[in-house]
Amino acid sequence: MHYLDKSLHDGGSAFQSFVSSGDGKQLPYMDEILDAFVYEASIKKPDFIILSGDLTNNGERASHKSLARKLARIEEKGTSVYVIPGNHDLFNPWARAFKGDRQIMTDSITDKNFTEIYGRFGYDEALSRDRQSLSYAVRAAPGLWLLMIDSNQYDNNRRLGHPQTDGRVLPSTLAWIDSCVQMAANENARVLTVMHHNILDHSDIDIPGFKVNNSGQVLKKLQKNGLNLVLSGHIHMQDIRHDLTDGGTEITDKTAVYDIATSALAVNPHQYGAMTFDPMSGRTTYQSTPVDVEGWAASAGLTDSRLLSFKKYAEQSFIDDSYKKAYESLKGSKFSDQDKREMADAMAQLNVRYFAGTAGGGIDDLLKLPGFKLWSTVNDGFLPRYIRSMAQSKPLSNTSLEIILNREQP
Protein backbone atom coordinates (compact mmCIF):
# COMPACT_ATOMS: atom_id res chain seq x y z
CA MET A 1 0.00 0.00 0.00
CA HIS A 2 2.87 2.39 0.84
CA TYR A 3 0.49 4.64 2.73
CA LEU A 4 1.78 8.07 3.79
CA ASP A 5 -0.43 9.96 6.22
CA LYS A 6 -1.36 13.44 5.01
CA SER A 7 -0.20 14.99 8.28
CA LEU A 8 3.37 14.15 7.23
CA HIS A 9 3.50 16.37 4.16
CA ASP A 10 2.30 19.78 3.00
CA GLY A 11 2.65 19.18 -0.73
CA GLY A 12 5.69 21.45 -0.81
CA SER A 13 8.90 21.24 -2.80
CA ALA A 14 10.53 18.58 -0.60
CA PHE A 15 7.52 16.30 -1.01
CA GLN A 16 7.24 16.94 -4.74
CA SER A 17 10.94 16.19 -5.19
CA PHE A 18 10.57 12.96 -3.22
CA VAL A 19 7.62 11.86 -5.36
CA SER A 20 9.28 12.70 -8.68
CA SER A 21 12.46 10.84 -7.77
CA GLY A 22 10.54 7.71 -6.76
CA ASP A 23 9.22 4.72 -8.69
CA GLY A 24 5.83 5.99 -9.78
CA LYS A 25 3.89 5.89 -6.50
CA GLN A 26 0.84 8.15 -6.51
CA LEU A 27 1.61 9.47 -3.01
CA PRO A 28 -0.16 12.84 -3.46
CA TYR A 29 -3.46 10.94 -3.75
CA MET A 30 -2.65 7.91 -1.60
CA ASP A 31 -5.08 8.98 1.12
CA GLU A 32 -7.89 9.21 -1.42
CA ILE A 33 -6.97 5.87 -3.02
CA LEU A 34 -7.12 4.20 0.36
CA ASP A 35 -10.42 5.85 1.23
CA ALA A 36 -11.81 4.59 -2.08
CA PHE A 37 -10.57 1.11 -1.18
CA VAL A 38 -12.28 1.28 2.23
CA TYR A 39 -15.48 2.46 0.54
CA GLU A 40 -15.30 -0.35 -2.02
CA ALA A 41 -14.85 -2.91 0.76
CA SER A 42 -17.99 -1.59 2.46
CA ILE A 43 -19.96 -2.20 -0.74
CA LYS A 44 -18.51 -5.55 -1.83
CA LYS A 45 -18.29 -6.86 1.75
CA PRO A 46 -15.58 -9.50 1.31
CA ASP A 47 -15.15 -11.98 4.16
CA PHE A 48 -11.59 -10.80 4.68
CA ILE A 49 -8.80 -8.67 3.23
CA ILE A 50 -5.11 -9.60 3.16
CA LEU A 51 -2.37 -6.94 3.20
CA SER A 52 0.96 -8.53 2.31
CA GLY A 53 3.38 -5.93 3.68
CA ASP A 54 4.77 -2.48 2.92
CA LEU A 55 1.73 -1.02 4.60
CA THR A 56 3.45 2.38 4.89
CA ASN A 57 5.71 4.58 2.80
CA ASN A 58 8.75 4.31 5.06
CA GLY A 59 7.47 2.99 8.36
CA GLU A 60 6.28 6.30 9.85
CA ARG A 61 4.49 5.84 13.17
CA ALA A 62 1.84 8.37 12.15
CA SER A 63 1.18 6.47 8.91
CA HIS A 64 0.82 3.17 10.76
CA LYS A 65 -1.63 4.63 13.27
CA SER A 66 -3.68 6.41 10.62
CA LEU A 67 -3.80 3.28 8.46
CA ALA A 68 -4.95 1.18 11.44
CA ARG A 69 -7.85 3.59 11.95
CA LYS A 70 -8.87 3.17 8.31
CA LEU A 71 -8.63 -0.61 8.57
CA ALA A 72 -10.82 -0.47 11.68
CA ARG A 73 -13.52 1.15 9.53
CA ILE A 74 -13.38 -1.91 7.25
CA GLU A 75 -13.76 -4.31 10.16
CA GLU A 76 -16.67 -2.31 11.55
CA LYS A 77 -18.55 -3.28 8.37
CA GLY A 78 -17.99 -6.98 9.03
CA THR A 79 -14.86 -7.66 6.95
CA SER A 80 -11.80 -9.05 8.73
CA VAL A 81 -8.35 -7.67 7.88
CA TYR A 82 -5.09 -9.63 8.16
CA VAL A 83 -1.70 -7.93 7.85
CA ILE A 84 2.01 -8.72 7.84
CA PRO A 85 4.87 -6.21 7.63
CA GLY A 86 7.04 -5.48 4.61
CA ASN A 87 10.62 -4.28 4.40
CA HIS A 88 9.47 -0.62 4.62
CA ASP A 89 7.47 -0.98 7.83
CA LEU A 90 9.74 -1.58 10.85
CA PHE A 91 12.82 0.10 12.36
CA ASN A 92 13.00 2.31 9.26
CA PRO A 93 15.65 5.06 9.45
CA TRP A 94 14.10 6.67 6.36
CA ALA A 95 10.85 7.61 8.13
CA ARG A 96 10.32 11.24 7.09
CA ALA A 97 7.88 14.12 7.14
CA PHE A 98 7.99 16.73 4.37
CA LYS A 99 7.59 20.41 5.24
CA GLY A 100 8.30 23.10 2.68
CA ASP A 101 11.73 22.42 1.22
CA ARG A 102 12.84 20.14 4.07
CA GLN A 103 12.69 16.46 4.88
CA ILE A 104 12.29 16.00 8.64
CA MET A 105 13.04 12.77 10.51
CA THR A 106 9.94 11.33 12.15
CA ASP A 107 9.24 8.40 14.45
CA SER A 108 9.33 4.85 13.09
CA ILE A 109 8.08 1.74 14.90
CA THR A 110 9.47 -1.52 16.28
CA ASP A 111 8.21 -5.07 15.86
CA LYS A 112 6.52 -4.81 19.26
CA ASN A 113 4.80 -1.59 18.19
CA PHE A 114 3.60 -3.35 15.04
CA THR A 115 1.73 -6.07 16.91
CA GLU A 116 0.24 -3.44 19.23
CA ILE A 117 -0.98 -1.18 16.43
CA TYR A 118 -2.24 -4.04 14.26
CA GLY A 119 -3.21 -6.48 17.01
CA ARG A 120 -6.84 -6.65 15.92
CA PHE A 121 -5.80 -7.32 12.32
CA GLY A 122 -4.55 -10.87 12.73
CA TYR A 123 -2.25 -11.10 15.73
CA ASP A 124 -4.94 -11.18 18.41
CA GLU A 125 -6.81 -13.88 16.47
CA ALA A 126 -3.77 -16.03 15.69
CA LEU A 127 -4.12 -19.75 16.29
CA SER A 128 -0.32 -19.99 16.31
CA ARG A 129 2.57 -17.53 16.25
CA ASP A 130 6.20 -18.08 15.35
CA ARG A 131 8.38 -17.09 18.31
CA GLN A 132 11.24 -15.72 16.19
CA SER A 133 9.33 -13.54 13.72
CA LEU A 134 6.02 -11.77 13.17
CA SER A 135 4.63 -14.83 11.35
CA TYR A 136 1.27 -16.22 12.43
CA ALA A 137 -1.50 -18.58 11.34
CA VAL A 138 -5.17 -17.67 11.47
CA ARG A 139 -8.50 -19.28 10.57
CA ALA A 140 -9.85 -16.79 8.04
CA ALA A 141 -12.99 -18.67 7.00
CA PRO A 142 -14.54 -22.12 7.37
CA GLY A 143 -12.11 -24.60 5.86
CA LEU A 144 -9.41 -21.99 5.19
CA TRP A 145 -6.31 -21.00 7.16
CA LEU A 146 -3.92 -18.18 6.29
CA LEU A 147 -0.23 -18.77 6.85
CA MET A 148 1.12 -15.22 7.23
CA ILE A 149 4.91 -15.43 6.93
CA ASP A 150 7.22 -12.60 8.00
CA SER A 151 10.06 -12.72 5.46
CA ASN A 152 11.67 -9.39 6.40
CA GLN A 153 15.09 -8.57 7.82
CA TYR A 154 14.80 -5.44 9.94
CA ASP A 155 17.03 -6.01 12.98
CA ASN A 156 20.00 -4.21 11.38
CA ASN A 157 18.12 -1.33 9.74
CA ARG A 158 19.15 1.33 12.25
CA ARG A 159 22.79 0.26 12.18
CA LEU A 160 22.77 0.20 8.37
CA GLY A 161 20.99 3.55 8.13
CA HIS A 162 18.48 2.19 5.63
CA PRO A 163 15.81 -0.54 5.45
CA GLN A 164 17.16 -3.90 4.34
CA THR A 165 15.41 -4.80 1.11
CA ASP A 166 16.18 -8.50 0.79
CA GLY A 167 14.30 -11.15 2.73
CA ARG A 168 14.57 -14.66 4.10
CA VAL A 169 12.48 -17.14 6.06
CA LEU A 170 14.13 -18.16 9.32
CA PRO A 171 14.92 -21.86 9.96
CA SER A 172 12.67 -21.71 13.04
CA THR A 173 9.86 -20.33 10.88
CA LEU A 174 10.30 -23.14 8.37
CA ALA A 175 9.94 -25.66 11.20
CA TRP A 176 6.92 -23.79 12.55
CA ILE A 177 5.21 -24.09 9.14
CA ASP A 178 5.11 -27.88 9.53
CA SER A 179 3.18 -27.63 12.80
CA CYS A 180 0.70 -25.12 11.35
CA VAL A 181 -0.02 -27.29 8.32
CA GLN A 182 -0.62 -30.27 10.60
CA MET A 183 -3.03 -28.31 12.79
CA ALA A 184 -4.94 -27.17 9.71
CA ALA A 185 -5.05 -30.74 8.39
CA ASN A 186 -6.52 -31.92 11.70
CA GLU A 187 -9.63 -29.86 10.96
CA ASN A 188 -9.57 -30.60 7.20
CA ALA A 189 -8.74 -26.99 6.37
CA ARG A 190 -6.75 -25.80 3.38
CA VAL A 191 -3.90 -23.32 3.74
CA LEU A 192 -3.22 -20.13 1.77
CA THR A 193 0.34 -18.80 2.15
CA VAL A 194 1.14 -15.08 2.32
CA MET A 195 4.53 -13.34 2.48
CA HIS A 196 5.90 -9.98 1.42
CA HIS A 197 8.92 -11.13 -0.59
CA ASN A 198 8.56 -13.27 -3.67
CA ILE A 199 9.21 -16.99 -3.62
CA LEU A 200 9.89 -17.08 -7.39
CA ASP A 201 11.57 -14.76 -9.90
CA HIS A 202 9.04 -12.42 -11.49
CA SER A 203 11.47 -10.97 -14.02
CA ASP A 204 14.02 -12.39 -16.41
CA ILE A 205 16.44 -9.74 -15.17
CA ASP A 206 18.32 -10.81 -12.07
CA ILE A 207 17.58 -8.05 -9.57
CA PRO A 208 18.73 -8.92 -6.02
CA GLY A 209 16.36 -8.37 -3.13
CA PHE A 210 12.99 -9.37 -4.54
CA LYS A 211 13.06 -13.15 -4.14
CA VAL A 212 13.75 -14.46 -0.63
CA ASN A 213 17.41 -15.38 -0.22
CA ASN A 214 16.64 -18.97 0.77
CA SER A 215 13.93 -19.45 -1.84
CA GLY A 216 15.07 -23.01 -2.59
CA GLN A 217 14.56 -24.08 1.02
CA VAL A 218 11.23 -22.31 1.28
CA LEU A 219 9.98 -23.77 -1.99
CA LYS A 220 10.85 -27.30 -0.86
CA LYS A 221 9.00 -26.70 2.41
CA LEU A 222 5.91 -25.50 0.55
CA GLN A 223 6.03 -28.46 -1.85
CA LYS A 224 6.44 -30.91 1.01
CA ASN A 225 3.33 -29.56 2.71
CA GLY A 226 1.23 -29.22 -0.45
CA LEU A 227 1.12 -25.41 -0.16
CA ASN A 228 0.71 -24.57 -3.83
CA LEU A 229 -0.34 -20.91 -3.73
CA VAL A 230 1.62 -17.96 -2.34
CA LEU A 231 0.39 -14.36 -2.30
CA SER A 232 3.30 -11.89 -2.32
CA GLY A 233 4.09 -8.32 -3.29
CA HIS A 234 7.35 -6.35 -2.95
CA ILE A 235 8.11 -6.04 -6.68
CA HIS A 236 5.18 -3.60 -7.26
CA MET A 237 4.24 -4.97 -10.69
CA GLN A 238 1.44 -7.50 -11.30
CA ASP A 239 2.83 -10.94 -12.14
CA ILE A 240 1.95 -14.63 -11.71
CA ARG A 241 4.59 -17.36 -11.95
CA HIS A 242 4.93 -21.02 -11.07
CA ASP A 243 8.07 -23.02 -10.43
CA LEU A 244 9.94 -25.14 -12.97
CA THR A 245 12.01 -28.27 -12.59
CA ASP A 246 15.79 -28.07 -12.54
CA GLY A 247 15.78 -29.06 -16.18
CA GLY A 248 13.64 -26.09 -17.11
CA THR A 249 10.52 -28.03 -18.14
CA GLU A 250 7.19 -27.22 -16.57
CA ILE A 251 6.20 -29.46 -13.70
CA THR A 252 2.73 -30.90 -13.31
CA ASP A 253 -0.17 -28.93 -11.87
CA LYS A 254 -0.25 -31.36 -8.96
CA THR A 255 3.16 -30.25 -7.68
CA ALA A 256 3.46 -26.69 -9.03
CA VAL A 257 3.71 -23.79 -6.59
CA TYR A 258 2.18 -20.55 -7.86
CA ASP A 259 3.37 -17.15 -6.65
CA ILE A 260 1.03 -14.21 -7.29
CA ALA A 261 2.81 -10.88 -6.89
CA THR A 262 -0.02 -8.37 -6.57
CA SER A 263 0.95 -4.89 -7.73
CA ALA A 264 1.27 -2.11 -5.15
CA LEU A 265 -1.92 -0.19 -4.45
CA ALA A 266 0.08 3.06 -4.62
CA VAL A 267 1.20 2.34 -8.20
CA ASN A 268 -0.88 2.53 -11.39
CA PRO A 269 -3.30 0.90 -12.13
CA HIS A 270 -3.97 0.90 -8.36
CA GLN A 271 -5.41 -2.61 -8.22
CA TYR A 272 -5.86 -5.46 -5.79
CA GLY A 273 -6.53 -9.17 -6.21
CA ALA A 274 -10.20 -10.19 -5.83
CA MET A 275 -10.41 -13.84 -4.79
CA THR A 276 -12.97 -16.57 -4.20
CA PHE A 277 -12.61 -19.86 -2.33
CA ASP A 278 -14.88 -22.90 -2.30
CA PRO A 279 -14.29 -24.87 0.91
CA MET A 280 -15.80 -28.06 -0.55
CA SER A 281 -13.65 -28.36 -3.68
CA GLY A 282 -10.77 -26.07 -2.78
CA ARG A 283 -11.34 -24.15 -6.02
CA THR A 284 -9.68 -20.76 -5.65
CA THR A 285 -9.82 -17.89 -8.14
CA TYR A 286 -7.87 -14.64 -8.44
CA GLN A 287 -8.58 -11.59 -10.58
CA SER A 288 -6.80 -8.21 -10.66
CA THR A 289 -9.32 -5.47 -9.95
CA PRO A 290 -8.67 -1.70 -10.03
CA VAL A 291 -9.96 0.39 -7.14
CA ASP A 292 -12.87 2.53 -8.32
CA VAL A 293 -11.56 5.91 -7.18
CA GLU A 294 -13.86 7.72 -9.58
CA GLY A 295 -16.97 6.04 -8.17
CA TRP A 296 -15.94 6.86 -4.62
CA ALA A 297 -15.18 10.49 -5.51
CA ALA A 298 -18.55 10.91 -7.20
CA SER A 299 -20.42 9.31 -4.28
CA ALA A 300 -18.62 11.62 -1.86
CA GLY A 301 -19.58 14.70 -3.89
CA LEU A 302 -15.97 15.69 -4.56
CA THR A 303 -15.12 18.21 -7.27
CA ASP A 304 -11.43 17.44 -7.91
CA SER A 305 -11.32 16.72 -11.67
CA ARG A 306 -8.33 14.43 -11.22
CA LEU A 307 -10.26 12.18 -8.84
CA LEU A 308 -13.40 12.23 -10.99
CA SER A 309 -11.35 10.98 -13.96
CA PHE A 310 -8.74 9.18 -11.89
CA LYS A 311 -8.06 6.24 -14.19
CA LYS A 312 -7.02 8.53 -17.03
CA TYR A 313 -5.10 10.89 -14.76
CA ALA A 314 -3.21 8.12 -12.92
CA GLU A 315 -2.25 6.29 -16.09
CA GLN A 316 -1.00 9.46 -17.76
CA SER A 317 1.00 10.38 -14.64
CA PHE A 318 2.67 6.96 -14.70
CA ILE A 319 3.39 7.26 -18.43
CA ASP A 320 4.85 10.74 -17.95
CA ASP A 321 7.07 9.53 -15.11
CA SER A 322 8.30 6.55 -17.15
CA TYR A 323 8.90 8.77 -20.19
CA LYS A 324 10.97 11.21 -18.16
CA LYS A 325 13.20 8.49 -16.73
CA ALA A 326 13.71 6.84 -20.12
CA TYR A 327 14.49 10.15 -21.83
CA GLU A 328 16.99 11.14 -19.15
CA SER A 329 18.72 7.76 -19.47
CA LEU A 330 19.44 8.54 -23.13
CA LYS A 331 21.34 11.76 -22.42
CA GLY A 332 24.73 11.66 -24.06
CA SER A 333 23.71 8.86 -26.44
CA LYS A 334 24.19 8.88 -30.21
CA PHE A 335 20.48 9.31 -30.91
CA SER A 336 18.85 12.49 -32.19
CA ASP A 337 16.40 14.30 -29.95
CA GLN A 338 13.53 12.99 -32.08
CA ASP A 339 14.83 9.43 -31.67
CA LYS A 340 15.11 9.89 -27.91
CA ARG A 341 11.53 11.09 -27.68
CA GLU A 342 10.27 8.11 -29.69
CA MET A 343 12.32 5.69 -27.59
CA ALA A 344 11.10 7.23 -24.34
CA ASP A 345 7.51 7.05 -25.56
CA ALA A 346 7.85 3.37 -26.52
CA MET A 347 9.30 2.51 -23.10
CA ALA A 348 6.59 4.44 -21.25
CA GLN A 349 3.75 2.82 -23.21
CA LEU A 350 5.16 -0.64 -22.51
CA ASN A 351 5.91 0.08 -18.85
CA VAL A 352 2.31 0.99 -18.04
CA ARG A 353 1.11 -2.37 -19.38
CA TYR A 354 3.95 -4.25 -17.72
CA PHE A 355 3.07 -2.98 -14.25
CA ALA A 356 -0.61 -3.69 -14.87
CA GLY A 357 0.26 -7.28 -15.80
CA THR A 358 -1.13 -7.06 -19.33
CA ALA A 359 2.06 -6.82 -21.40
CA GLY A 360 2.59 -10.58 -21.61
CA GLY A 361 -0.71 -11.06 -23.40
CA GLY A 362 0.37 -9.23 -26.53
CA ILE A 363 2.00 -5.93 -27.43
CA ASP A 364 2.08 -6.16 -31.22
CA ASP A 365 0.80 -2.59 -31.52
CA LEU A 366 3.65 -1.28 -29.37
CA LEU A 367 6.30 -3.28 -31.22
CA LYS A 368 5.41 -1.30 -34.33
CA LEU A 369 6.39 1.98 -32.69
CA PRO A 370 9.59 3.50 -34.15
CA GLY A 371 11.12 3.71 -30.70
CA PHE A 372 11.18 -0.07 -30.25
CA LYS A 373 13.32 -0.62 -33.31
CA LEU A 374 15.76 1.95 -31.96
CA TRP A 375 15.92 0.23 -28.55
CA SER A 376 16.87 -3.02 -30.29
CA THR A 377 20.12 -1.39 -31.42
CA VAL A 378 21.20 -0.71 -27.80
CA ASN A 379 22.82 -3.51 -25.81
CA ASP A 380 24.55 -1.78 -22.90
CA GLY A 381 22.84 -0.67 -19.70
CA PHE A 382 19.92 -1.75 -17.57
CA LEU A 383 17.07 -0.11 -19.49
CA PRO A 384 17.51 -1.96 -22.83
CA ARG A 385 17.56 -5.30 -20.95
CA TYR A 386 14.52 -4.23 -18.95
CA ILE A 387 12.61 -3.32 -22.11
CA ARG A 388 13.42 -6.64 -23.76
CA SER A 389 12.25 -8.52 -20.67
CA MET A 390 8.98 -6.54 -20.61
CA ALA A 391 8.35 -7.28 -24.27
CA GLN A 392 8.46 -11.07 -23.92
CA SER A 393 5.20 -12.92 -24.43
CA LYS A 394 3.95 -15.09 -21.59
CA PRO A 395 1.43 -17.94 -21.87
CA LEU A 396 0.31 -17.71 -18.22
CA SER A 397 -1.98 -14.79 -17.38
CA ASN A 398 -0.57 -12.26 -14.94
CA THR A 399 -3.98 -10.99 -13.88
CA SER A 400 -6.11 -14.09 -13.30
CA LEU A 401 -5.73 -17.62 -12.00
CA GLU A 402 -7.91 -20.59 -11.09
CA ILE A 403 -6.38 -23.29 -8.93
CA ILE A 404 -7.32 -26.10 -6.55
CA LEU A 405 -5.77 -24.97 -3.27
CA ASN A 406 -3.52 -27.63 -1.69
CA ARG A 407 -4.45 -30.15 -4.38
CA GLU A 408 -1.88 -32.55 -3.00
CA GLN A 409 -2.87 -32.75 0.67
CA PRO A 410 -0.04 -33.62 3.10
The residues, any chain, with a CB within 8 Å of residue 108's CB and separated by 6 or more, are 58, 59, 60, 61, 90, 91, 92, 93, 95
Q: What is the pLDDT of residues 352-395, one digit of tens each?
A: 999 999 998 888 899 899 999 999 899 888 899 999 999 888 88
Q: Do the beta carbons of residue 374 and residue 335 sit within 8 Å?
A: yes
58-72 average pLDDT score: 98
Kindly state the percentage of the chain with pLDDT values over 90.
88
Q: What is the pLDDT of residues 319-328, one digit of tens each?
A: 999 999 999 9
Query: Max CA-CA distance within the chain?
Result: 67
Q: What is the pLDDT of residues 279-337, one digit of tens each?
A: 999 999 999 999 999 999 999 999 999 999 999 999 999 999 999 999 999 998 999 99
Q: What is the pLDDT of residues 9-22, one digit of tens each?
A: 999 999 999 999 98
**Cα dihedral value 14, 19, 22, 23, nearest 10:** 180
Residue 246 pLDDT exceeds 70: no
- Calpha distance 345→333 (Å, rounded): 16
Q: Do the beta carbons of residue 33 and residue 265 sit within 8 Å?
A: yes
- Calpha distance 155→168 (Å, rounded): 13
Terminal Cα distance for the chain, rounded: 34
Which residues of the chain form CATH 3.60.21.10?
6-294+397-404
Tell me which fold the domain 307-390 belongs to. Answer: Serum Albumin; Chain A, Domain 1 (1.10.246)
Which residues of the chain form CATH 1.10.246.180?
307-390
For the domain bounded by 6-294+397-404, which CATH number is listed?
A: 3.60.21.10
Query: What was the pLDDT predicted at 143?
Result: 97
